[in-house]
Amino acid sequence: MSAKTKRRIALIGLPITSQEDESIFDGLVRYAGTSGAWQYFLSAESTVDAFRFLRKANCDGAIVRVLNKEMAREAKKLPFPAINVSSWLEKPGIPTVCRDDAMIGRLAAEHLLQAGFRRFACVICPGGFYVRARAEGFQKTMEKAGFPCAMHTMKAHYGDIAHPQRITPADLSGLQAWLAQLQMPVGLFWTEDHLGEQLLRSCQKSGLRVPQDMAVVSAPNRMSLCEASAPPMSSVNSPEEEVGFLAANWLDRLMAGEKMPASHHKVPPTHVEARKSSDTFAVDDPIVARALGHIFKHVGEGLNASELIGNLNLPRRTFYRMFEAATGQSPQGFIQKRRVQITLDLLSKDVDLSLKEVAMRCGFRDRNRMNLTLLKITGKSAQAWREERIAEINTPTGRVPSRSSLSQGAFRPLAYPSREQGTR
């Protein structure tokens, strides 16, 4: 197909100013590479002016972010198909492909439940409908499991479109007072990565240790923010690239005359990217808590139950009874599962590390012992886990075409009036 017959697609609200924007953009690039029949026009930000200008542009379709009701009204007036990729509004008024925010809350809840917590809290950060959907998913999962959940809502303060979420010193003082009155240990869901560093500082000012007193999970796993936090923050991973790819796919189908079966197509999160902020197992017994801290610190050094008991200077039978009552597992069983956990994590994150080195770093005597343990616990050998991870990296959904396509004429700037008209 020649360039003259390519469909002209406008992008409104995808300026690539964050990891989230970049990932969605990667999905769009990937779809353009597979379809071979698209030409993107790129706009800098979502404004009412941009939507109004778009009505007069020579376009076949658009992928947009609808951020307020006025934008929603303008988006409905577009004379061509458009797909929204924002979950800022509950009802954006046009077909939407977005992440499943309720499922994000559910995965965060399940992660903290599996870490042994029995007390839970959730902070609803400033934001759109999506933060409430995440909080509701978290709270409902806890209610189904039979646990109450303390809720705290941060007041929304809006700046400009590029930085819409702010927290004032008064907000932080209120948050610190609320955190201080929670009973520890507690598992907390913070509904937005973007402000997570401020939460962690609030914990420190309230005298709370993360994760020993409070384990923290956030979303949607903006790696640059989560890994730079102190400690690094666990976060529910949302496949933003897949959102972009599916949005482009659905737009293609709409332009071909197909109807979207539902107003929203929600892309579920993939997993919780566990980091230091939730790397714990919650118990009330101080002796067992001390034992768990020793396990987490020394499991990669070949620790076993006998060494653990020797470190605590307790009768074996007494300690086993206390440990099993608190965790539901034997000390050796817990050590083994923890060792498997760090092994799978290392196999996933460092695919170039030899299996012998992985075994040594995770506390196994040798590679064969590691394989036997993984086969027993997971049903797969270390090599099988490694090959599966490499396959994930090399699949189309994991590998994105180079942005060299930008210089090959697939993307051209779309100019429009940038004047704002009070459209927050």
Determine the longest span between alpha carbons in the chain, in angstroms.
81
Query: CB–CB of 219/191 below 8 Å?
Result: yes
């080195």: which residue's tokens?
357
Q: What is the DSSP code (8-state) at residue 214?
A: E
Query: CB–CB of 237/220 below 8 Å?
Result: yes
Task: Please state, in angstroms and as integers, the Cα–Cα distance from residue 239 to each residue in 242, 267, 271, 339, following that order.
Answer: 5, 7, 10, 28
Give SS3 for 184.
Answer: coil
In 133-292 the beta strands, taken as DSSP E runs, fall at 149-153, 186-190, 214-218, 234-237, 264-267, 271-273
Q: For residue 234, which of 208, 261, 200 has the smallest C-alpha distance?
A: 200
User: Which pLDDT value is given to residue 43?
Assistant: 66
pLDDT digits (tens, 9 = 90+) for 383-397: 888 888 777 655 544
User: Which pLDDT value is given to residue 109?
Assistant: 96
């923010």: which residue's tokens?
225
Q: For residue 54, which of 76, 31, 69 has the smallest C-alpha distance?
A: 76
**Whether the model pTM is above 0.75:** yes
DSSP line for 41-102: EE-SS--HHHHHHHTTS--SEEEE---SHHHHHHHHT-SS-EEE---SSS--SS-EEEE-HH
> CA quadruple 361, 323, 283, 377: dihedral positive or negative?
positive
Q: Please report the domains of the chain, with CATH numbers, ordered by start residue.
A: 3-99+241-270+404-413 (3.40.50.2300), 101-238+272-278 (3.40.50.2300), 286-380 (1.10.10.60)
Exposed / middle / buried, residue 162 (Cβ in 10 Å: 0-12, 13-18, 19+): exposed
- Euclidean distance between CA atoms 162 and 108, whole angstroms: 27
> How is the chain split among helix, strand and coil, in percent rounded to 5?
50, 15, 35
User: Which pLDDT value is given to residue 25?
Assistant: 80
Give the angle subtended at the CA of 86 by the CAs of 223 and 56, to the nearest 5°: 130
- Please list the pLDDT of the chain residue by residue as tens digits (424 residues): 444 478 888 888 876 556 666 788 888 888 877 776 788 766 657 889 989 988 888 889 999 999 999 999 999 999 999 999 999 999 998 999 999 999 999 999 999 998 889 999 999 998 899 999 999 999 999 999 999 999 999 887 655 444 455 678 888 888 889 998 999 999 999 999 988 888 888 888 888 899 989 999 999 998 888 988 889 999 999 988 899 999 999 999 999 888 876 677 899 998 898 899 998 888 888 888 888 888 888 889 989 998 888 888 889 999 999 999 888 889 999 899 889 988 988 887 777 889 999 999 999 999 999 999 999 988 989 988 888 877 765 554 443 333 333 333 333 333 433 333 333 3
- Euclidean distance between CA atoms 217 and 194, whole angstroms: 12
User: Which pLDDT value is given to residue 203?
Assistant: 86
Query: CB–CB of 240/20 below 8 Å?
Result: yes
User: Which pLDDT value is given to residue 134?
Assistant: 97
